[in-house]
């Protein structure tokens, strides 16, 4: 691992320690995800850059029509279906004992050619849930587990291969709640800089962008009197609820934190996820840690996919 990435992993570990020390009741969540997040950094070192693909995407120029840089097909194509990284990503997921059997069945299906990973990735990112469910049925695992597994395979490839692209779009004007790079929804809203600028962090590629302080990232409605959930002892963390679309997003004031705190900040607010979902709101982006059973009321929660 190169020095920069190694320092990055150390810094992620420290950010996890800070959350655990501040909120000891979150220790099980932090410890479950700490390994996944740091091992993903290791996986990314094994993924080769795709300079040609990124150069091609950059040459598309700015996006005045408000479309994200990557199409759904571009995103699916970022995965090398036969690479060792896919196997390593699956191994990493065994840290979640609840889906070990599902992972083993997926590995078996890949070994025996019983599943076309490329096609499954396309179904996932294009939101064709019936196709993903059919593939899950062939493997013999629940569709939700298969979507989760596919999302986890996809994420390191997208994070690594959009790194250069993210830098390219960072000074581009963008006013939407979805990510300007990959089009996914944000997992976190945070305040940064002296003036407390509001930014959103993408749940898939990790890019962050400036966003209107009052608007809902999901439906763009502005509500001056929207409901905020927070607990007294944690004034720097809260959840913002939208009465129009019944979605919520967790938010943090990160003006005093290290830059890597952004990558793990949402993990430190799982208790707010639970409160928000108990009140019948669904997350703006479904992430591995905010899938709190039972599903939130009548809101169709799987309209967006599951990454972490
Ligand atoms: Zn993104
Ligand atoms: Zn909304």
Would you tell me which CATH number, out of the four given (3.50.50.60, 3.40.50.1000, 1.20.58.220, 3.90.1670.10), belongs to the domain 174-307?
3.90.1670.10
- Reported pTM: 0.88
- Tens digits of residue pLDDT in 87-122: 888 888 887 778 889 999 999 999 898 889 999 999
- Tens digits of residue pLDDT in 191-221: 998 888 999 999 999 999 999 999 999 999 9
Q: In the chain, which segments carry CATH 3.90.1670.10?
A: 174-307
Packing angle, helices 143-161 and 100-111, rounded to 10: 70
Distance 187 CA to ligand 2 centre (A): 14
Please tell me the number of the ligand nearest to residue 217's CA: 2
Distance 217 CA to ligand 2 centre (A): 7
CB distance 190 to 268 below 8 Å: no
Please tell me the number of the ligand nearest to residue 281's CA: 2
Distance 239 CA to ligand 2 centre (A): 13
Distance 287 CA to ligand 1 centre (A): 13
- Tens digits of residue pLDDT in 164-174: 888 888 777 88
- Between 64 and 88, the more confident residue is 88
Please tell me the number of the ligand nearest to residue 70's CA: 1
Please tell me the distance from the alpha carbon of residue 144 to that of residue 150, in angstroms, as a whole number: 10
Distance 159 CA to ligand 1 centre (A): 8
Residue 44 backbone class (left: φ over 0; alpha: ψ -120 to 50; beta: rest): alpha
Distance 257 CA to ligand 2 centre (A): 28
């Amino acid at each position: 691992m190169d020095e920069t990435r190694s320092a990055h992993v150390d810094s992620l570990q420290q950010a996890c320690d800070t959350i655990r020390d501040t909120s000891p009741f979150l220790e099980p969540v932090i410890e479950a995800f700490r390994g996944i997040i740091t091992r993903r950094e290791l996986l990314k070192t094994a993924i080769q850059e795709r300079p040609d693909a990124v150069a091609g995407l950059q040459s598309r120029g700015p996006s005045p029509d408000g479309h994200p840089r990557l199409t759904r097909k571009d995103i699916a194509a970022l995965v090398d279906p036969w690479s060792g990284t896919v196997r390593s990503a699956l191994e990493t997921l065994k840290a979640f004992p609840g889906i070990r059997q599902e992972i083993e069945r997926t590995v078996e299906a890949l070994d025996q050619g019983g599943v076309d990973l490329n096609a499954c990735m396309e179904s996932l990112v294009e939101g064709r849930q019936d196709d993903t469910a059919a593939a899950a049925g062939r493997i013999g695992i629940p569709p939700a587990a298969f979507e989760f597994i596919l999302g986890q395979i996809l994420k390191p490839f997208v994070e690594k291969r959009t790194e250069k692209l993210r830098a390219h779009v960072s000074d581009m004007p963008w006013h939407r709640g979805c990510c300007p790079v990959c089009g996914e929804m944000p997992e976190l809203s945070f305040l940064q800089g002296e003036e407390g600028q509001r930014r959103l962090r993408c749940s898939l590629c990790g890019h962050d962008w400036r966003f209107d302080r009052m608007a809902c990232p999901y439906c763009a409605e502005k509500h001056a009197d929207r409901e905020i959930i927070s607990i007294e002892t944690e004034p720097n963390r809260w959840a913002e609820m939208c009465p129009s679309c019944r979605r919520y997003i967790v938010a943090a004031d990160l003006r005093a934190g290290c830059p890597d705190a952004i990558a793990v900040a949402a993990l430190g607010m799982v208790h707010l996820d639970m409160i928000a979902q108990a009140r019948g709101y669904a997350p703006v982006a479904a992430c591995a840690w905010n899938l709190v059973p039972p599903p939130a009321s009548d809101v169709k929660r799987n309209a967006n996919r599951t990454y972490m």
